[in-house]
């Protein structure tokens, strides 16, 4: 039933409106069990649902936070959302989840809707270099935590950023292949416009420089379609398709790579499919390294070597930072928190086949 008021609940339960209010706001005090039972029964019978915005006006707070991710089509974000929700529920908070596809207009629209619903704390998993499209909400008091990005010029002074050290992660991946003896490497990504992708590419090139390699020794595939020349960013919705197409094109080149580093695990799984499409063997003819360590990585055939992000720890960290700011007992200045990644070596990587290290 819609439109039921707190006064109707009070009449049905035979109590005062203030008693119902105390129950709804978690202040039962010395309320007798029988009184509490009558209030609960009246709420159930009438189908009463408290208005979140009105409740916030009365109490000054609302125990709901927002989580905006690129897309749960990528299991990485589904897993992060599950861990984040678990951390929130443990402290009595609920989570509203939105998928933005890294579209700044959609991010702003979702945040505007959450703000209008009275939600004052949001974790934004954007990785866009600029968050200017949501700056006005931060100026109005929104507690915002950026996830999967490091601090950027122009960020709000109060913004907290949490991220894996993407530079180090990509260095670990590239060093692993180089130490196995690979000298013809490829880096597969969509558009390099996001903060995390830019940093992973920087780590990749830094590892190459450590081993005395140049751009002539490597291939970078970022989604440019042959014929049109226009870049396509497959993003989280079709990362596996990006990887598969990239592998097909790279392996058809005059001097194909023996090792491929993908921007994330879903992309890496697509790369593995493209290698099989070419009649080659993953981990024997061509080595592949992913990034994230999603649950599918260990289930792949062969299991995928990847860079692990400790998602449960990072999700708890994101919620803790958000809650501190909502409770007013955290620092007001922004922070940039980096978590060290870990390389997980599985069977998708091995030394290059004989007579391939000198093909370039």
> What is the structure's pLDDT at 345?
98
Indicate if 247 and 301 belong to the same structural domain.
yes
Residue 348 falls within a domain, yes or no? no
Q: Are 80 and 311 in contact (CB under 8 A)?
A: yes
Quote the Cα angle for 121-66-150, to 5°.
70
CA 350 centroid distance within chain:
29
How is the chain split among helix, strand and coil, in percent rounded to 5? 45, 15, 40
Indicate if 28 and 131 belong to the same structural domain.
no
Q: Is the dihedral of CA 117, 120, 122, 128 positive or negative?
A: positive
Indicate if 178 and 133 belong to the same structural domain.
no
Residue 356 falls within a domain, yes or no? no
More confident residue, 316 or 7: 316
Look at the block and give the residue holding tokens 């003819």: 285
Residue 352 falls within a domain, yes or no? no
Indicate if 90 and 206 belong to the same structural domain.
no
> What is the structure's pLDDT at 234?
40
Residue 57 falls within a domain, yes or no? no
Q: Are 71 and 99 in contact (CB under 8 A)?
A: yes
The tokens describing 2, both together, are 């819609």
* Nearest C-alpha neighbor of 268 from the set 186, 213, 359: 186
pLDDT digits (tens, 9 = 90+) for 223-282: 744 333 333 444 555 899 999 999 999 999 999 999 999 999 999 999 999 999 999 999
Helix (H) or strand (E) holding 197: helix 195-210
Indicate if 87 and 172 belong to the same structural domain.
no
Report the distance separating Cα 117 and Cα 137, nearest Å. 13
Report the distance separating Cα 127 and Cα 149, nearest Å. 5
Percent of the chain with pLDDT over 90: 68
Indicate if 274 and 298 belong to the same structural domain.
yes
Residue 216 falls within a domain, yes or no? yes
The tokens describing 357, both together, are 């290290």
Query: What value does the mean pLDDT take over residues 171-199?
Result: 95
Phi and psi at residue 161, to the nearest 5°: -115, 135
Indicate if 264 and 199 belong to the same structural domain.
yes
Q: What is the CA radius of gyration of the chain?
A: 25
pLDDT digits (tens, 9 = 90+) for 69-119: 999 999 999 999 999 999 999 988 999 999 999 899 999 999 999 999 999
> What is the structure's pLDDT at 355?
75
> What is the structure's pLDDT at 236?
58
The tokens describing 326, both together, are 């909502």
Indicate if 180 and 77 belong to the same structural domain.
no
Residue 127 falls within a domain, yes or no? yes
DSSP state letters, 96-114 = EEEE-TT-HHHHHHHHHHH
Indicate if 184 and 245 belong to the same structural domain.
yes
Report the distance separating Cα 337 and Cα 318, nearest Å. 10
Residue span of the structural domain in which 226 resides: 166-309
Residue 270 falls within a domain, yes or no? yes
Q: Is the pLDDT of residue 175 over 80?
A: yes
Q: Are 123 and 145 in contact (CB under 8 A)?
A: yes
Number of domains in the chain: 3
Indicate if 180 and 151 belong to the same structural domain.
no
Look at the block and give the residue holding tokens 């592998």: 247
Indicate if 235 and 278 belong to the same structural domain.
yes
Query: What value does the mean pLDDT take over residues 281-298?
Result: 97
Peptide bond into 325 cis (omega under 30): no
Residue 354 falls within a domain, yes or no? no
Indicate if 272 and 284 belong to the same structural domain.
yes
> What is the structure's pLDDT at 360?
42
Q: Is the pLDDT of residue 58 over 60?
A: no
Report the distance separating Cα 88 and Cα 225, nearest Å. 43
* Residue 197, domain CATH: 3.40.50.2300
> What is the structure's pLDDT at 218?
86
């Amino acid at each position: 039933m819609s439109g039921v008021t707190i006064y109707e609940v009070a009449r049905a339960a035979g109590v005062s409106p203030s008693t119902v209010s105390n129950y709804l706001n978690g202040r039962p005090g010395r309320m007798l069990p029988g009184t509490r039972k009558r209030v609960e029964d009246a709420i159930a019978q009438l189908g009463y649902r408290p208005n979140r915005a009105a409740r916030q006006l009365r109490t000054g707070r609302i125990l709901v936070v927002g989580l905006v991710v690129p897309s749960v089509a990528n299991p990485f974000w589904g897993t992060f959302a599950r861990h984040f929700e678990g951390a929130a529920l443990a402290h009595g908070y609920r989570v509203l989840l939105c998928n933005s596809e890294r579209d700044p207009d959609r991010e702003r629209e979702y945040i505007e809707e959450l703000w209008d619903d009275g939600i004052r704390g949001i974790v934004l998993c954007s990785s866009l270099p600029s968050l200017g499209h949501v700056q006005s909400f931060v100026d109005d008091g929104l507690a915002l935590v950026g996830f999967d990005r490091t601090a950027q010029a122009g960020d709000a002074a109060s913004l907290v950023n949490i991220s894996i050290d993407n530079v180090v992660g990509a260095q670990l991946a590239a060093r692993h292949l180089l130490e196995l003896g690979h000298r013809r490497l490829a880096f597969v990504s969509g558009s390099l416009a996001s903060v995390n992708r830019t940093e992973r590419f920087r780590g990749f090139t830094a590892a190459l420089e450590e081993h005395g390699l140049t751009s002539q020794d490597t291939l970078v595939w970022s989604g440019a379609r042959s014929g049109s020349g226009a870049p396509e960013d497959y993003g989280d919705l079709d990362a596996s398709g990006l990887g598969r197409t990239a592998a097909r094109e790279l392996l058809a080149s005059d001097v194909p790579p023996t090792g491929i580093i993908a921007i994330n695990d879903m992309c890496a799984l697509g790369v593995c499919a493209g290698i099989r499409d070419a009649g080659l063997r993953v981990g024997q003819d061509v080595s592949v390294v992913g990034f994230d360590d999603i649950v599918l990585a260990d289930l792949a055939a062969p299991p995928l070597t990847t860079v692990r992000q400790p998602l449960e720890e990072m999700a708890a960290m994101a919620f803790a930072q958000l809650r501190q700011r909502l409770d007013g007992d955290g620092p007001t200045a922004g922070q940039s928190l980096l978590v060290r990644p870990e390389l997980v070596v599985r069977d998708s990587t091995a030394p290059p086949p004989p007579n391939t290290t000198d093909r370039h």
